[in-house]
Amino acid sequence: MPAIAPDRRELLLDAAQALFAERPFDAVSIADITQRAGVAFGLVAHYFGSKRGIYVASMQAMADQLRAVRDRPPEQDDMAIALQVGIRRHIAYLEEHAVGFRVLMRGGIGADEEVRQIVMKLRWEGAERVMMALNVNHPIGPELYSAMYGWVGFLNESMLAWLEQKAFPREQFATMIIVMLAATLRTVITMNPHTGIDPRLLDRLELGS
């Protein structure tokens, strides 16, 4: 059976991701993208309308891939371990796609409102996945809301700093993120005891890491 050829839309998205990660938005032309993808010039307009259209779509594609990796169901039922597996997968994916991650986070190639929305949605979904696993009460209290945004900010910023140097193992970095999640949630429980989070789950989350 012959390998299935990636479709041309896919080839264009891959080329766009690579180019927008290398150069500012204004320094990438439609011709650059179609040449890299090895397809006809007119196809960017056909599939995406414009250069901005393929830019937004390429950022959306990266966010979708990250979401798919993070949300793949874990193999076991233990919630503490499932959370750890999810966080470690997320971090491994970011390491593999470090350039694209930097572009998404820093918006260095043109602060596009639509891309900003894609990133904000992705952030909050990550926090929501964690809170779902922890069985938090709804509605989410304001302390937990603020703190979970904080933890996602911790993860993203410390990850960018870690990627600069990679001076200690990823396993250890992931452990730091998991321990900081437990610390974040313990702080919230102290501020507001009505979160529904079981502190024993946090002990196991931390220990198992």
Q: What residues line the site for a copy of itself (CB under 8 A)?
A: 24, 106-111, 113, 116, 142-143, 145-162, 165, 167-168, 172-173, 175-176, 179-180, 183-184, 187-188, 190-191
Q: Cβ 46 to a copy of itself, closest distance in Å?
A: 28
Q: C-beta of 53: minimal distance to a copy of itself in Å?
A: 18
Exposure string of 30-58, with b = 16+ CB inside 10 Å and e = fewer, is bebbbebbebeeebbeebbeebeebbbbb
Describe the crossing of helices 170-191 and 79-96 by its angle, rounded to 10 degrees. 130
What are the distances in angstroms from CA 20 to CA 31, 38, 107?
A: 13, 17, 10
Which amino acid makes up residue 133?
A: A
- Whether 140 contacts 192, CB under 8 Å: no
> In the bound complex, what is the minimum distance in angstroms from residue 115's beta carbon to a copy of itself?
10
Cβ contact 122:33 at 8 Å: no
Of residues 31 and 179, the one with the C-beta less far from a copy of itself: 179
Whole-number minimum distance, CB 32 to a copy of itself, in Å?
Answer: 20
Q: Nearer Cβ to a copy of itself, position 108 or 199?
A: 108
Q: Using CB atoms within 10 A of its CB, is residue 104 exposed (0-12), middle (13-18) or buried (19+)?
A: buried
Nearer to a copy of itself, 47 or 145 (CB): 145
Our CB check for a copy of itself shows the closer of 93 and 149 to be 149
Cα–Cα distance, 75 to 40 (Å, whole number): 43
Nearer residue to a copy of itself within complex by CB, 85 or 191: 191
Smallest gap from residue 181 Cβ to a copy of itself (A) = 11
State how far the Cα of 135 lies from the Cα of 199, in Å rounded to an integer: 12
